[in-house]
Amino acid sequence: MVTKKKAVKKLQPYEIGELDHYLFGQGNHYEIYKKLGAHEVTAGKKGVYFAVWAPHAKSVSVIGEFNGWDAAADRMERQEPLGIYTVFVPEAKDGQMYKYCIETESGELIYKADPFANYAELRPGTASRITDVSHLKWTDDRWMESRKKWDNKENPLSIYEVHMGSWMRHPGREDEGFYTYREFAEAITKYVKKMGYTHVELMGIAEHPFDGSWGYQVTGYYAPTSRYGTPEDFAYMINYLHRNGIGVILDWVPAHFPKDAHGLADFDGTPTFEYADPRKGEHPDWGTKIFDYEKPQVRNFLIANALFWIEHFHVDGLRVDAVASMLYLDYGKQDGQWVPNKYGGNQNLEAIEFFKHLNSVVLGRNPGTMMIAEESTAWPKVTGNPEDDGLGFSLKWNMGWMHDFTEYMKLDPYFRKNAHHMMTFSMEYAYSENYILVLSHDEVVHLKCSMLNKMPGEGFDKYANLKAAYAFMTGHPGKKLLFMGQEFAQLREWSEERELDWFLLSEEPHQQIQNWYRDLLHLYKKNPALYELDNDPAGFEWINKDDIFRSIFSFVRHSKGKKKNLLFVCNFTPVAREDYRVGVPTKRQCKLVLNSDEKEYGGSGEKRKEIYKPVKKECDGQKYSFAYPLPAYGVAVFEY
């Protein structure tokens, strides 16, 4: 007897099949965002295919403008084994708002935004919007091709950290005056090119309900915030920056999410995205939920999200927020508020494996991109290879350097001799990770003062201190990041509620600081000695790190093969040293390439020689030396 084979239904590309379930269940469906969410399709006729993961829901309906928000109109079909609900709605159209009406196990109805939505209603609204992001227009082929060969270790990386909503606003408008993505693209490009940054890092781009969270409490992981325009506008911005040779980094938040009723918290009436045990699943200090890194589908949600920004929207890197809070089970918790791992320790073993998987996949699939860790502890091998038990990040924020540096700079110059080690200690561990030196938004809020107002003294002293600080940072090994407004010595602390105080640039001291930082950035970009050996001890040499009582630091940055080297001399006291002698490793002439005493930087404008010829006279342990009149808080950079 011949048995007939059961006919297998041929799936449409948008439909979810067995392979999708298998990969999502394993945590390896790296393009799951193309299946879950709302996608415009043609199934006989045009409409929208909705798919949502709600494993413990009793039932799910999609409600929206297309069906009068009627929960009975478009009930979704449950697919096993993972509990993914799907429905095709021919009446649904681009731009319409929608939500999922979820019936929980207890029979309660809850209304949730789509975790995979690509667009959202402008806050305070909380609905998702149907939008098609599958046909974005890109003309940045040259950038994307060159990115494949780009190496963050050997190339210049100077980052301008920006909060879009408060960088610049339209004055006098009845609405909030935000620049759109398109307007911002053109304005920021002009400014960044003038200043000399290589990359822009954008805070708070994924959709979030509360402005005061700065974008670090996300409800729409797959949606560029609607505050500044559509996803197409967002793509235009990335494309525009790339065409002008500027890289884009986004802040990315896989550590926690808010409890807003429309968000991920208790998504199907149970802890779906978060750990079920509140001792693992909640941050008591932040009032937020913690992702369950043990659950494959949750890991998949986050890894696919990282790939979505980098592959679909051409973003060049992600700065991963609050990494330390993910690595430690007891982060920000008291005894009794956390659960040890199976070995009795405080390490989150699932988060560690998540990072290794995340970084291996993102960087493996996208050569030339960056995964950057904001990690504030001494966790080993953050930028080490996963094969060697590292976490696999490209770069790590150097929070130790930032703390020591800012604490030193706050001191009255008279007391700096007692804290001299705070400026030299960082070189003891400079090569243990691939570092970025950061002066970020976190350092200029919550009564910490702006960078200028951290500086001691009044008037000239404040500005001169800041110039010396920025020069030291530029010369120190490590990539660079500075938060917006600090490049022109913003007086007030930053607030997301207003634009930067651009009017300060009408005052000479602020313009002079901007001139100084601009020329430091251009010096940095132009000289491989300042970036190509950041992770190699051969790239840095102290000339004198022990001039404690005069608080002067001198050092050399070497290029590969020592073809072109830069000597930095930084004076951190208000005492001029007219007879200052500095040692050099060679008899070759030294050319003064940057002098903080120039008039355009707020200095005296006193004329100085351009060329200095070392003589055979021992100084600073070097065979050769030359004399240079070093002003109060003076900085001089020489090329040889």
pLDDT digits (tens, 9 = 90+) for 51-110: 999 999 999 999 999 999 999 999 999 999 999 999 999 999 999 999 999 999 999 999
How confident is the prediction for the chain on average, in pLDDT? 96
What's the rounded mean pLDDT across residues 544-556?
A: 97
What's the rounded mean pLDDT across residues 375-400?
A: 96
Q: Helix crossing, 296-307 with 18-26: angle to 10°?
A: 100
Q: Is the dihedral of CA 451, 457, 463, 465 positive or negative?
A: negative
Q: How do the domains of the chain map onto residue ranges?
A: 18-129, 537-639
Q: Which of 13, 48, 25, 12 is nearest to 131 (CA)?
A: 48
5 has a pLDDT exceeding 60: no
Contact indicator for 201, 160 with CB cutoff of 8 Å:
yes
What's the rounded mean pLDDT across residues 174-191?
A: 94
319 has a pLDDT exceeding 80: yes
Catalytic annotation, pick one of 103, 121, 292, 321? 321
Identical fold for domains 18-129 and 537-639, yes or no, is yes
10 has a pLDDT exceeding 90: no
Task: Give the separation between CA 435 and CA 395, rounded to whole angstroms.
Answer: 5
Residue 374 annotated to the active site: yes
4 has a pLDDT exceeding 60: no
607 has a pLDDT exceeding 60: yes
The helix, strand and coil proportions of the chain, stated in percent and rounded to the nearest 5, come to 30, 25, 45
Question: For domain 537-639, which CATH number applies: 3.40.50.11540, 2.60.40.1180, 3.40.50.720, 3.30.365.10?
Answer: 2.60.40.1180
Task: Give the separation between CA 488 and CA 493, rounded to whole angstroms.
Answer: 13
Task: Give the separation between CA 90 and CA 75, rounded to whole angstroms.
Answer: 13
Q: Residue 595 pairs with which residues in a beta bridge? A: 636
Residue 579 annotated to the active site: no
7 has a pLDDT exceeding 90: no
The torsion region of residue 272 among left (phi > 0), alpha (psi -120 to 50) and beta comes to alpha
Question: For domain 18-129, which CATH number applies: 1.25.40.10, 3.30.830.10, 2.60.40.10, 2.60.260.20?
Answer: 2.60.40.10
Q: Which of 400, 422, 414 is nearest to 553 (CA)?
A: 422
Catalytic annotation, pick one of 74, 114, 282, 374? 374
Q: Residue 86 pairs with which residues in a beta bridge? A: 51, 77
> What angle is formed at CA 65 by the lines to CA 64 and CA 67, rounded to 5 degrees?
70
Task: Give the separation between CA 439 and CA 489, rounded to whole angstroms.
Answer: 13
Contact indicator for 318, 250 with CB cutoff of 8 Å:
yes
